[in-house]
Amino acid sequence: MDVDQVLTHLADGARQTMRADAVAVRLLDEQGERVSRAAASGFSVATEMGESAPLARYPIDEQALAGSPIVVDDAHAESWGDSGKGGVPAPYRSALCVPMTHGGDAIGTITAYAATAGRFRAEDASLLEPLADVGATAIVATRALQELEELEARQSLFIRVATHELRSPVAVAQSMVRGVLKGYAGEMTAQQHDLFGRISRRLDLLENLVNDLLDLAAGKAGRRERDTAVLLNAAVGRVVLLLLPRAEEKGVTLAYQACCEELIVRGTEDGIDRILVNVVDNAVKYTPSGGDVAVALQRDGEQIEIVVSDTGIGIPEKALPHLFEEFYRAPNAKAMDTVGTGLGLAIVRDLVQRYCGRITVKSAEGEGTTVTVTFPRVDLAECFF
């Protein structure tokens, strides 16, 4: 919910609470010198929103912001009826204005209007003031949340730009190093081959880090692809085929237990692929030669489960609560000579949550790991493209 929605609900709620004919919510600027109408409810004619004016132009609000509610019993008799001077606008005759404050700072005002004189009394302020306090808190909290989201979006943009600029030179450097290792620059001594091999592994790490940072930034940038129906059977089969050569090269058995029923989830093909590649690749990566990795796709009522089990190194109990933290790697994973950035599972968690799913991990050090990703099943007939 954004600030405009909060203000609209506040105006409607105040009108209902006070049984008023109309309600206006006005906000102060940061300097406390100008005021603007931010929301309205019940007015018979369209009202201008967002146009600011000096606070002095709104004497009722100005007096209320000085510290106490203001009751206008009859605008005609009390000279409050000139709407051009910020008084009670026609056709209304009575009004109640209370200040909105938060932490001692003035935020704005809520003013209730009635077409009849004598509609509000001083004790009516006790009904409107709690709503004003809640409204002020909600406005401040929503503003802070929006600022945080904007900051996160700017940070994500910086990461995307920086990592995109890094991707090309890293790829070029890796290509050149691999060319040297293959002997295209002439024969090398054993020491030179070892040195270039180390450089190649470091470039692999850097390349993975750049790619993971791009994935992480893309997930937090707010600009997301439109979700569609994704056939999970095809996605899981595709990822298993992709990673099968890597498993065979390492001496790890990668088995896939398919499901005969077509299982559909809501998401994007790219996002689902990223989830599956990260989870299955981790299982292969951290399973020693001679071990097994099993991938199973199954339906459990209205839920779809992808279960990835391995006989790998497992995860220490103390590390389990930190698995989905960005840049975190379990101590025994760090001790292995394998490339990893600690971002893969953070990316997986964000994507799974985006698609209304959940992910669980069961593991014991030295006994292997089982990762279960669960999504709500989607009926193809209910999908809209």
Summarize the confidence of residues 219-235 as an average pLDDT.
Answer: 74
pLDDT grade for 80, boundaries at 50, 70 and 90: low
Shared domain check, 240 and 384: yes
Instruction: Please identify, among 125, 148, 171, the residue that sits at the C-terminal boundary of a domain.
Output: 148
pLDDT grade for 384, boundaries at 50, 70 and 90: very low
pLDDT grade for 363, boundaries at 50, 70 and 90: very high
In a domain, 14, yes or no: yes
pLDDT grade for 223, boundaries at 50, 70 and 90: very low
In a domain, 187, yes or no: no
Alpha carbons 39 and 54: distance in angstroms, whole number: 18
Res 77: pLDDT: 76
What's this model's pTM, rounded to 2 decimal places?
0.52
- Residues 101-125 pLDDT 10s: 988 888 899 999 999 999 999 899 9
Domain CATH for 59: 3.30.450.40
> Total domain count for the chain?
2
Domain CATH for 348: 3.30.565.10
In a domain, 217, yes or no: no
- Residues 321-355 pLDDT 10s: 998 888 788 888 888 766 666 778 888 998 899 89
In a domain, 258, yes or no: yes
The segment with the largest mean pLDDT, out of 56-60, 202-206, 321-325, is: 321-325
Shared domain check, 39 and 134: yes
Shared domain check, 261 and 367: yes
In a domain, 197, yes or no: no
Shared domain check, 264 and 138: no
Least confident of 78-82, 130-134, 258-262, 274-278: 78-82
pLDDT grade for 203, boundaries at 50, 70 and 90: confident
Backbone φ and ψ of 22, nearest 5°: -155, 155
Instruction: Please identify, among 131, 148, 165, the residue that sits at the C-terminal boundary of a domain.
Output: 148
Shared domain check, 247 and 358: yes
Provide the domain limits for residue 84.
3-148
Shared domain check, 231 and 143: no
Instruction: Please identify, among 97, 124, 148, the residue that sits at the C-terminal boundary of a domain.
Output: 148
